[in-house]
Amino acid sequence: MHTSTDYSHAEKLKYELTQPMFNVMLKKWVGKGELDYERYLHTDTLLALQSPEGELVSHDELMFQIVHQSQELYLKLASREMVEVVAEMDRDALWAVVARLARVQKIIAGISAEMAILETMTPSEYQVIRRSLGNGSGQESPGYNTLRHAADGLESAMERMLARRGLTLFQVYSAGGPKDLQHVCEQLVTVDESFQGWLYAHYQLVRRTIGIDRTVKALDGLPSQVLQARMTLPLFRALWDVRVELTAGWKREGGYAPGEARTGGGCPMAAINAMNDSAMHAPVAQAQSAGGPAPHLHHAPMAHAQHPTTAHAHEPRVGGGCPMHAQHTPVAHASAAHAQPAPAHVMAAHAQPAPAHVAAHAPHTPVPHAPVAHAQPHAPVAHGPHAPVAHGPHAPVAHAQPHAPVAHGPHAPVAHGPHAPVAHGPHAPVAHAPTPHGPHAHSHAAHASAYAHAQELRRLP
């Protein structure tokens, strides 16, 4: 049931905000000035620096005071940071100089953004506040004057830094000038630009509240129009003047007409990259011109279709664990990997007797080949004169003598002659599905051809 009260809810809330409050998490009273946070920041004094509620001439006056007070605090901070920059610059600690100048720039950018809060005040609301400001103006700001004085000291430190190097600003900014000093000077320009941005934000605030015209007088008696010249008044004039000096020496000659072919032009780094590319591919070009085979810059193991080579648990990780590193490992590492002793179960598999039609051939050393991780059922290899290819399912091989389909259980490689065992990690026997082929006819000529082809492979680089 709604009941009327003899007080305003807003007035009640306003009163509550002026009283200490109980923080249920801390189980303490906040606002009495007794806690460490309050004592450290002097919050009782800080929050009493604004006009009391009953003395405000306008609701917006509290906002006007707080924004200007916070700007004074930030200007004090920026000035103090500039003092540290002077000390760091005098001992040539340029990394520290650049870092601290970035902080100064962010402080000034912050007070510039704060001006947008005051822009929520209408001209009529400001006119009420203005009657109680006396003859005050921004020129009377301690923070503004302190910052300008600190900037003068910073400009003097820059001049001393240049004198120690025996350089002028023009030499620093000319082609081939020292990059470290260029970077420091550009950071100073960034700070100066932010400062002028703050002045411009103030100019726009005046423009939207009282207007800019020679007939409009500021509280100090000067026309508001003079702000146009003040907002471009730099902190470090020499850094802006050197741009004019550089442009004065600029010449139009030496460029390209629009649409003209730019032979030899473009980014200077492109020429450096082209030289590096030429140096890399020079051995290949020389070998090809001589009629010989091109040298292998990078060699990757043969890729078997549907059987990607996997890294086993205890396989040596040459160059670390990055998978991409293996693609750039020279071929010598692959050979070394093949020279590792094979596991016992692989050696045992190699020791099993070969089929009769294979045993008829003279012993030979096979071509070292990369380990094949069989992930899917593998059909018999079609032996004919062909290059080793990725084996997928294919037609059955015709054998001379009918024999039963090959039932692949634990896979045992053909017993070759002495060769470097394949460096496999521990793996389970490859479970091949029974080959669904009928009787096979496998001629001796086919075996002879396959053997000759294997010998060919051995002679390849």
**Is 25 within 8 Å of 16 (Cβ atoms)?**
no
pLDDT at 412: 46
Mean pLDDT is highest, among 31-40, 131-140, 279-288, 430-439, for 31-40
What mean pLDDT comes out for the span 414-424?
A: 47
Structural domains of the chain, ranges and CATH numbers in brackets:
17-46 (no CATH), 54-246 (1.20.58.480)
CA 107 to CA 103: how far, in whole Å?
6
Task: Give every CB contact of residue 449 below 8 A, 6+ residues apart in sequence.
Answer: 383, 384, 385
Output the pLDDT for position 247. Answer: 95
Residue 230, pLDDT score: 78
Distance of CA 419 to the CA centre of its chain: 49
pLDDT band at residue 272 using 50, 70 and 90 as cut-offs = low
**pLDDT at residue number 458:** 59
* pLDDT interval class at 38 (50, 70, 90): very high
Strand partners, 28: 23
- Decide: residue 210, CB within 10 A, 0-12 exposed, 13-18 middle, 19+ buried: middle
For residue 225, the model assigns a pLDDT of 75
Is 420 a residue whose pLDDT tops 50?
Answer: no
- Comparing C-alpha atoms, which of 423, 428, 406 is closest to residue 334? 423
pLDDT surpasses 60 at 299: no
pLDDT, mean over the chain:
74
Residues 6+ apart with CB under 8 A from 33: 39, 43, 44
According to DSSP H, which parts of 249-372 are helical?
Answer: 268-289, 323-327, 331-338, 344-350, 356-359
pLDDT of residue 137: 83
Residue carrying structure tokens 């590492």: 333
Is the predicted pLDDT of residue 400 greater than 60, yes or no?
no
- Determine the pLDDT at residue 202: 92
Pairwise pLDDT comparison (440 vs 256), residue with the higher score:
256
pLDDT tens digits, one per residue of 425-451 = 444 444 444 444 444 444 555 556 666
pLDDT at 261 over 80: yes
pLDDT tier at 3 (50, 70, 90 boundaries)?
Answer: low
**Tens of pLDDT, residues 240-255:** 999 999 999 999 888 8
Tell me the average pLDDT across 160-173.
Answer: 97
pLDDT band at 136 (very low <50, low <70, confident <90, very high): confident
In the numeric block, which tokens belong to residue 452?
Answer: 């000759």
- The pLDDT score that the predictor gives to residue 342 is 46
Confidence class of residue 363 from pLDDT cuts 50, 70 and 90? very low
Helix, strand, coil percent values for the chain (each to nearest 5): 50, 5, 50
Q: Evaluate if residue 385 carries a pLDDT over 80.
A: no
Bigger pLDDT: 121 vs 454: 121
pLDDT reported for residue 231: 78
- Give the separation between CA 391 and CA 413, rounded to whole angstroms: 16
Provide the pLDDT for residue 68: 96
The pLDDT tens digits for 55-91 are 999 999 999 999 999 999 999 999 999 999 999 999 9
Cα of first residue to Cα of last residue in the chain, in angstroms, is 98
Q: Is residue 338 over pLDDT 70?
A: no
Tell me how far the alpha carbon of residue 179 is from its chain's centroid.
22
Tokens of 73: 């605090």
179-226, pLDDT tens digit by residue? 999 999 999 999 999 999 999 999 999 999 989 888 888 777 777 877
pLDDT attached to residue 348 = 42
Check pLDDT > 60 for residue 356: no
Return d(Cα 445, Cα 30) in angstroms, integer.
100
Percent of the chain whose predicted confidence (pLDDT) is above 90: 45
Q: What is the pTM of this model?
A: 0.57
pLDDT at 119 over 90: yes
Indicate the SS3 state at residue 146: helix
> Is a pLDDT exceeding 70 seen at residue 359?
no
Q: What percent of the chain has pLDDT over 70?
A: 56
pLDDT at 103: 98
Stretch 18-41: mean pLDDT, rounded?
A: 95
Contact in structure between 216 and 207 (CB atoms under 8 Å): no
Query: Please, which residues have CB within 8 angstroms of residue 220's CB and are 6 or more apart in sequence?
Result: 135, 136, 137, 139
CA 129, CA 127: separation in Å to the nearest integer? 6
Q: Is 319 helix (H, G, I), strand (E, B) or coil?
A: coil
